[in-house]
Structure 1
């Protein structure tokens, strides 16, 4: 039985729909959870796009888009929400963003897992978890570390002065 070739536009469009759904879930927007069928279809799409014969093997493009997905999400959603807050509220948002980011890495790395198994290993590239986690460090932490340090020092001083701290960390 011959598989139908999945063109880049068709396959990536399907993956983008799954990624958008994941982002909405993470942000707490109304969205049904992923069903087993949803998950398997996303995984199968990556599998098929990875195992097609050239010129339809889209492994490198999928890997690049995986990385780009994190960068786009961080610059369009995470950083703006952090930059509009100060002090203790910025730290709370930072913790929330980090928690959400780890969930996003876990789910996206599962969808794209077949890349980890062969393509990434064969080329000695950073694995999917590394790409996802490093993107937070490179784009969020490095951008906010000075403000975070100031906020933490402010909380330490507040505690030293005997003022009550919010216990949401």
Structure 2
């Protein structure tokens, strides 16, 4: 495993195939082509780290981020055009709505996984340039390419089913409600009022009967939450007593409590992905020395966050402890900054960045370059 603190010489074209492999595997999974190809912790960290390396590359940072963002969007567009739309062609009424909901469920699973792999892009590039989030980008593609093509057919199918019920026939109300819920879900993310659009059509075309009934179709749905089990990963609770093994780029294994590991939002995302690989080992692409320092920090701050922790009993004030912690060499400090950013440990990133800023204060650019052994460019 390559240390993330070391610069990579690989280009975007050389690194993208790793992410394309992730996309291909994911599509095969949701399409049922390869049910056994589940993502492991190592897979998740490898894909996330590939995105991180591309986004963190010094002189190509913005260019790589732009390419990644465009590729992310293109992945969904290609999937919709090659798989989603063809599957809906020729289907009528209930069959079309059933297939649409199945495709939407798969699409959300695809969005969930890829947004985890590409999450570093969202934390910095998307936030800085105020671009649509990864979820919004995915939903926009679905809305633009699927909604615009079949919106009329979907509306006609729903109204036809409601007409059938009005005529005394039994219909699948759950199918109608879940379809409306799908449009509502897209509207919630994109701030588009699809739900009221459907209600408006129902009232306009069937004013006498639906003036009171139409809003109840949404409100009465007991199946409004159609989120599949795979997407509710944020609801999974990890046991605080369980241990997890973090593996450095040198191959050394560090066994830590879950609570300590979860100080890293990156690791938390990987754990919540709950891949079926079954291993409790997570590769962390940094040297053993730096990983040991990061774990030391996380252990101390996990301990200090415990309600039963008392500074007078430990004899150490946490702020004093932090000050001692960052009394390290310049290169080690810079590595800690990179690793805190990579692992998304905000308090450690704030601490190390503030320390670097204090060291730079009042110094010339040349002095700063010399201090941190930085290249002139």
Which residue in the other structure is 1:42 paired with? 47
Instruction: Give, in angstroms, the shift of residue 163 of structure 1.
Output: 2.5
With normalisation by structure 1, the TM-score equals 0.93
CA distance in 1, matches of 2:49, 2:33: 26
Aligned match of 1:3: 7
- 1:100 matched to 2:106: yes
- Structure 1 counterpart of 2:134: 128
Map residues 1-169 of structure 1 onto 2, 5 A cutoff: 2-31=6-35, 32-55=37-60, 58-166=64-172, 169=175
Q: How far apart are 1:157 and its partner, in Å? A: 1.7
Per residue, is there more helix in 1 or in 2? Answer: 1
- TM-score w.r.t. structure 2 length? 0.43
Supply the distance in 2 between the matched residues of 1:6 and 1:120 (Cα, whole angstroms).
23
Q: How many residues align?
A: 169
Secondary structure of the corresponding residue to residue 54 of structure 1 = coil
Structure with larger RCO (C-alpha < 8 A, sep 6+): 1
Q: Distance in 2 between matches of 1:8 and 1:83?
A: 37
Q: Name the CA distance, whole Å, in 2 between partners of 1:23 and 1:96.
A: 14
In structure 2, what is the Cα distance between the partners aligned to 1:77 and 1:6? 32
Structure 1: give runs of 5+ residues left out of the alignment.
none
Displacement after TM superposition at 1:87 (Å): 1.2
How far the C-alpha of 1:167 sits from its partner, in A, is 6.1
**Counterpart in the other structure of 2:340:** none
Tell me the secondary structure at the aligned position of residue 58 of structure 1.
Answer: helix
- Which structure has the larger Rg over C-alpha atoms? 2
Encode CA deviations 1:91-145: one digit per residue, 9 max, x unaligned. 1111111111111111111110000011111111111111011111111111110
CA distance in 1, matches of 2:41, 2:92: 40
CA distance in 2, matches of 1:122, 1:11: 24
Question: What is the root-mean-square deviation of aligned Cα atoms in Å?
Answer: 1.6
* Distance in structure 1 (CA, Å) of the matches to 2:89 and 2:42: 38
